[in-house]
């Protein structure tokens, strides 16, 4: 720098000496005068203060200071948020919206063939409403045979009753005649016995007087004993006739009673078959609900227990809730009351936000394929959920948060949510908020204030 200044001074001196020599050209003098006008002030300023030590150096201007202050505020806000803020930790889940009543199958009660379907998918039906008509030829044949048998038994009973009445009348007349004869014979023997007793008394007095021998009295006594024995025999015959008459009446009544019991049993079987035919030929819904699937066609053959219709039970207190499945390896982190965010498949969460809910219950053990089929009644849906949750899902039920002022009737993360009606069967993604952490703990776990303040 000093060399450059010294060289500039020497050049200036040489030019001045050159112009001062006598005989210098006029053009050169004019050129030097122009150059002096152009460069003299800058050169002189440089020579006077080559380092400009007396001038204050400007490092930053006002705009730079504003940018620096803004950067500092942003950094302070980031640090404050890292210490005081919270980031939710979420667990992903998959599922669908269902009514709290769940799903149920309407099944056939017996074997037969479908002749008509009374409902379709989406129909709302009430309990006891017909779902399908089924032809049951076997029951119809049994009913026809039992009715014919009942007619035969009734006819036989009437005949047996008539014949029994006639037999009893004949037996009663014969028994009455025999009883009258026996009573007459008994009366005759009583009279004969009285005579013989009087005769025996008289002969006893004569024997005491010696007028007759004892042979006479013994003969009279033997005759009296024979008469009394005959009387006893007649009385025994009278009792036997009464017993025989009673036995005959009892046998006749027993035969009629047996025929009547058999006839009543047949009539009872007819009533049972009629009730069974009514139940099996007209399949009725056991619940109030909405038909979600018709699983048979007209003409299909059925066996007992064949599902005809899948029904979503509504009930009086049925409400919409989320049935979710999570990986069982992480499902034990969930507890009742945790917040849930739902994104139904019919909603764009970037525009409408997420549906808010709370965990209602968490199953204690992983669900099996059979258990999920009993709840969902859809093999493809079960296979999809098993694949999404690692093959051993844990069932979680979440209750939607109600909000009367939104179009859907439920609360959303946005102000009003989408303008639509939510229905069961809608697939949805879900995120369960298990806990919240401070941002600084994610970068520096050792600096987590929650741990330091414990």
CA distance 249 to 255: 10
The answer for residues whose C-beta is within 8 angstroms of residue 9's C-beta and 6 or more apart is: 47
- Enumerate the domain spans of the chain: 2-48, 87-103+315-437, 137-258
Dump pLDDT digits (tens) for 237-252.
878 878 877 777 788 8
Sheet-wide strand order for 103-107: 103-107, 307-313, 289-294, 124-125
Please give the structure tokens belonging to residue 394.
């844990």
The per-residue pLDDT for 405 is 85
- Rounded to the nearest angstrom, the gap between the alpha carbon of residue 335 and the centroid of all alpha carbons in its chain is 22
When the pLDDT of each residue in the chain is averaged and rounded to a whole number, the result is 79
Over 60: is that where the pLDDT of 266 sits? yes
- Band (356; pLDDT cuts 50, 70, 90): very high
Kindly tell me if the per-residue pLDDT of 342 is higher than 80: yes
Does 193 score more than 90 pLDDT?
no
Nearest alpha carbon to residue 279 among 304, 297, 312: 304
pLDDT in tens, 118-173: 888 888 888 889 999 998 888 888 888 988 988 888 888 888 777 777 777 777 78
Q: State how far the alpha carbon of 280 is from the alpha carbons of 379, 393, 419, in Å.
A: 27, 38, 45
Q: Looking at residues 305-316, what average pLDDT do you find?
A: 78
- Residue 423: the pLDDT is 81
Statement: residue 453 has pLDDT above 60: no
Average pLDDT score over residue span 67-71: 84
> For the domain bounded by 87-103+315-437, which CATH number is listed?
2.40.30.170
Q: What is the CA radius of gyration of the chain?
A: 61
Nearest to 297 by CA among 109, 119, 116: 116
What is the end-to-end Cα distance of the chain in Å, rounded?
Answer: 66
Burial 335-355 (b: 16+ CB within 10 A, else e): eeebbbbbbbeebebeebbbb
Most confident of 41-45, 305-309, 447-451: 305-309
Band of the pLDDT at 325, cuts 50, 70, 90?
very high
As a residue count, the chain comes to 454
């Amino acid at each position: 720098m000093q060399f450059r200044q010294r060289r500039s001074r020497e050049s200036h001196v040489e030019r001045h000496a050159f112009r001062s020599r006598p005989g210098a050209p006029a053009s050169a003098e004019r050129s030097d005068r122009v150059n002096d006008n152009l460069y003299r002030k800058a050169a002189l300023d440089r020579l006077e203060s080559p380092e400009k030590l007396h001038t204050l150096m400007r490092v930053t201007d006002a705009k730079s200071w504003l940018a620096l202050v803004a950067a500092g505020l942003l950094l302070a806000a980031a640090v404050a948020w890292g210490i005081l803020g919270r980031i939710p930790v979420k667990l992903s889940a998959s599922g669908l919206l269902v009514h709290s009543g769940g799903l149920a199958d309407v099944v056939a009660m017996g074997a037969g063939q479908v002749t008509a379907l009374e409902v379709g998918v989406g129909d709302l039906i009430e309990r006891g409403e017909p779902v399908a008509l089924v032809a049951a030829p076997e029951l119809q044949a049994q009913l026809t045979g039992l009715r014919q048998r009942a007619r035969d038994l009734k006819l036989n009973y009437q005949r047996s009753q008539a014949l029994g009445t006639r037999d009893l009348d004949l037996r009663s007349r014969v028994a009455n005649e025999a009883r009258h004869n026996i009573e007459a014979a008994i009366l005759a023997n009583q009279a004969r016995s009285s005579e013989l007793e009087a005769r025996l008394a008289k002969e006893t007095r004569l024997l005491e007087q010696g007028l007759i021998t004892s042979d006479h009295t013994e003969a009279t006594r033997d005759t009296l004993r024979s008469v009394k024995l005959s009387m006893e025999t007649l009385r025994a015959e009278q009792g036997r006739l009464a017993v025989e008459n009673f036995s005959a009446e009892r046998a006749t009544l027993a035969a009629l009673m047996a025929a009547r019991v058999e006839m009543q049993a047949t009539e009872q079987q007819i009533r049972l078959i009629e009730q069974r035919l009514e139940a099996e030929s007209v399949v009725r819904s056991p619940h109030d609900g909405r038909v979600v699937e018709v699983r048979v066609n007209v003409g299909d053959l059925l066996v007992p227990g064949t599902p005809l219709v899948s029904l979503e039970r509504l009930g009086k207190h049925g409400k919409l809730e989320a049935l979710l499945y999570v990986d069982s390896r992480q499902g034990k982190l969930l507890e009742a009351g945790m917040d849930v965010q739902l994104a139904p498949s019919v909603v764009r969460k970037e525009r409408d936000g997420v549906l808010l809910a709370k965990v209602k219950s968490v199953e204690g053990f992983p669900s099996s394929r059979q258990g999920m089929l009993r709840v969902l009644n859809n093999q493809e849906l079960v296979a999809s959920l098993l694949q999404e949750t690692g093959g051993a899902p844990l069932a979680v039920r979440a209750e939607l948060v109600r909000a009367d002022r939104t179009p859907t009737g439920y609360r959303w993360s946005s102000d009003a949510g989408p303008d639509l009606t939510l229905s069961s069967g809608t697939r949805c993604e879900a995120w369960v908020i298990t806990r919240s952490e401070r941002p600084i703990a994610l970068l520096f776990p050792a600096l987590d204030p929650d741990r330091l303040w414990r």
